[in-house]
Amino acid sequence: MGNNKGIAKSGMTSQEELFRNLVIEHQEMVINTCYRFVFNREDAEDLAQEVFVEVFRSLDRFREEAKMSTWIYRIAVSKSLDHLRRMKRKKRFGSLKRLIGSEDPGEDIAASLSDTPAETYVGQERMKILQDALDTLPDSQKTAFLLSKQEGFSNQEIADILKTSVSAVESLVHRAKKNLHDKLYAYYANN
């Protein structure tokens, strides 16, 4: 993540030009951050669009209390978590739809991670198991764990995004790993 103080303090560029530069600099990181949460390319891109729209709306209110990049990724995390909550509610409603027979089987197909159909199927199954396990984690543990797995985020940067300390981040990651392990163990022991 680069130093954004120069861009933020520049009085030479117009707001739109400033915004365009921000998008160019951070779009990849924002899309991949959202992708880590939602495991779906289309959803990740849609979320990234919403993140930048929010950034554009709130650019005037940015008070430089944190780095611009920290602020942007904080919005990305927040939007991703909101999306996951919506999907959870949709799943609950989906079970009702299944009962009455109006569910669309194509709705839940996630992006493929591999090339062959067999690998795709196995990969998707395993991905779903992982997603279900991640859904059981509290937001703070989930965020710390997923960001720690993503290149480009140090523990200090994760702490800045979560507005907490480095030691707290390490503790969150440790607890997340333990909880995930327990969930997955229970799943594989019974299946």
Q: Does the footprint of other proteins cover residue 126 (CB under 8 A)?
A: yes
Out of 88, 90, 149, 174, the only residue in the binding site for other proteins (CB under 8 A) is 149
Out of 8, 25, 27, 108, the only residue in the binding site for other proteins (CB under 8 A) is 27
176 contacts 145 by C-beta, under 8 angstroms: yes
Cα–Cα distance for residue pair 144/57, rounded to 1 Å: 27
- Per CB under 8 A, which region of 23-31, 59-67, 86-94, 135-143 contacts other proteins? 23-31
What minimum distance in Å lies between the beta carbon of 98 and other proteins?
Answer: 25
Cα–Cα distance for residue pair 72/160, rounded to 1 Å: 12
Please, what is the end-to-end C-alpha distance for the chain in angstroms?
A: 42
Q: Does the footprint of other proteins cover residue 1 (CB under 8 A)?
A: no
What minimum distance in Å lies between the beta carbon of 7 and other proteins?
Answer: 16
Q: Does the footprint of other proteins cover residue 185 (CB under 8 A)?
A: yes
Nearer to other proteins, 17 or 97 (CB): 17
Alpha carbon separation from 65 to 61, 116, 179 (Å, rounded): 11, 48, 34
Cα–Cα distance for residue pair 180/188, rounded to 1 Å: 12
Out of 90, 91, 163, 181, the only residue in the binding site for other proteins (CB under 8 A) is 181
Cα–Cα distance for residue pair 48/46, rounded to 1 Å: 5
Q: Does the footprint of other proteins cover residue 120 (CB under 8 A)?
A: no
What minimum distance in Å lies between the beta carbon of 115 and other proteins?
Answer: 12
Q: Under 8 Å CB-to-CB from 74, ≥6 apart: which residues?
A: 66, 161
Q: Which residues bind other proteins (CB under 8 A)?
A: 19-20, 23-24, 27-28, 31-32, 35-36, 39, 41, 44-45, 48-49, 52-53, 56-57, 113, 123, 126-127, 129-130, 133, 146, 149, 151, 180-181, 184-185, 188-189
